[in-house]
Amino acid sequence: MNRTTKLKLFTIGICLVLAAPLIVSVFLPEPVSAVNIATETSEPGMVNYNLKVKEGFFGEFCPVGKSCVPLEYKENVITNAGLNFVEFLMGVGANSPVKYLALGNTTAPAIGDTTLAGEQTADGLQRATGTYYDLGTGWWEINNTFTYTGSTSRVVNTTANFNATSSGTMYAGGTITTVTFTTNGDQLKLRHNFTFAEV
């Protein structure tokens, strides 16, 4: 091999060494970094918000001739029907407001319930139209005072709210501290609190 040929081979070798990175980048995929991996959870331009809806119970039991006794605050179960009602109320506005309060005497309402088992229907304890109070942004109250008009002992341990004076959609319900009405004029003051807020 003469000197000229060796020079040509040396030159070609240098060129191959210099061009190797370019050749490799063309035929091999670029490494993927975890930083570059992203998952789209919504359409471009859309913002996702998480909302939490709560509904709870405050109350006082007022026996005749005695001081009113505050009842323990408890949160109620919002039913699937209640969640659908919020959807229709917010999106369509075709339903009546949830302002009718009911009392019951049975087990705690469950998420699939559409009625309040053991709902009271007489002696001043039947479903009643509550009064609305605006308590702030996304926060309101429906309350009512039930006055017992019966003559025999009656026990109440659940409450719920509806969008009608009878039947209708049960938005939410739950247990309350057990109350026993014994005397005509005993009162139960219900304050159903509703909140709708971003979390």
Q: What single string gives the DSSP state of each residue in 41-84?
A: -S-TT-----EEEEEEEEEEEE-TTS--EEEEEEEPEEPHHHHH
pLDDT band at 159 (very low <50, low <70, confident <90, very high): very high
For residue 59, give the amino acid letter: G
pLDDT band at 195 (very low <50, low <70, confident <90, very high): confident
Q: Which of 131, 150, 151, 149 is nearest to 141 (CA)?
A: 131
> Which tens digit of pLDDT belongs to each residue from 73-118?
998 988 888 877 777 776 665 567 899 999 999 999 999 999 999 9
Alpha-carbon torsion 123, 129, 134, 136, what sign? positive
Q: What single string gives the DSSP state of each residue in 111-154?
A: TT-SS-TTB--STT-S-EEPEEEEEETTEEEEEEEEE---SS-E
> Which tens digit of pLDDT belongs to each residue from 14-59?
545 454 444 434 443 343 333 333 334 444 455 555 667 788 988 9
Q: Is-above-0.75 flag for pTM?
A: no
* Placement of tokens 């035929």 in the chain: 27
